[in-house]
Amino acid sequence: MQAGRGNAVRGEPPVQLRGKSVLSVSLAGVPVEVGPLGFLQPNPRVAERAYRDLLADEHGEPHRGALAFDLYAGAGVTTALLRREFAEVVPCESYPESAAALGVPAEPAEVFLARQQASGRAPELVVANPPRGGMGPAVSAALVQMAAPRLQIMSCSADALVRDLAVLQAGGYVLRRLRAYDTLPQTPHLELVAWLSRGTGES
């Protein structure tokens, strides 16, 4: 039993009884292997559309550049897609199994952002796909301080996204577009993608 409500339901480490230890799938043309405690979108067709939108600008044109950060990178789908357009993509993931698969240290997003900013890294784009609790005040404030020209967020909680957007907009970001995706039909749950940029004028 889980004592309280949270972003994850995990107990003791899983024990493999038989068969493969990972699930191998392809999402948006990216081969992905997910372990028993990993996360994968349950509706691949809608998820692929959401991922394509997440990585393009609000007009549907793909972002391109020298450096992008991928926060809450999970199974690495968005990281792989971003690497088709950016010279360098640095993923961030706090769950050890997923971080190991990505080849990066497991660390919270706020720690990652502080470390990158201290080293003088300046991404042209930051993509974030946080869990249901959202990014939270610390990560949102760190993103304001980093001031990347473009910030794009996928969220599975409208309430959490509203809280995060309040911090980002107070810090100078402008919400350019917001789109909803019915990833779990016949339920009240939606995925949302928000397009933000610095400044107050037209993009």
Is 95 annotated for ligand binding?
no
Catalytic residue of the set 156, 165, 168, 196: 156
Told to judge if 92 belongs to the known catalytic residues of this protein, a careful annotator would answer no
The answer to whether 97 is a known ligand-binding residue is no
The answer to the question of whether 129 is labelled as a binding residue is yes
User: HEC profile for the chain?
Assistant: CCCCCCCCCCCCCCCCCCCCCCEEEEECCEEEEECCCCCCCCCHHHHHHHHHHHCECCCCCECCEEEEEEECCCCCHHHHHHCCCEEEEEEEECCHHHHHHHCCCECCHHHHHHHHHHCCCCCCEEEECCCCCCCHHHHHHHHHHHCCCEEEEEECCHHHHHHHHHHHHHCCEEEEEEEEECCCCCCCCCEEEEEEEECCCCC
Maximum separation of any 2 CA atoms in the chain, in Å: 58
Q: 112: closest CA among 102, 103, 121?
A: 121
User: Does residue 7 have a known ligand-binding role?
Assistant: no
Binding site listing for S-adenosyl-L-methionine: 41, 72, 93, 129
Annotated binding site: 41, 72, 93, 129
Catalytic residues: 156
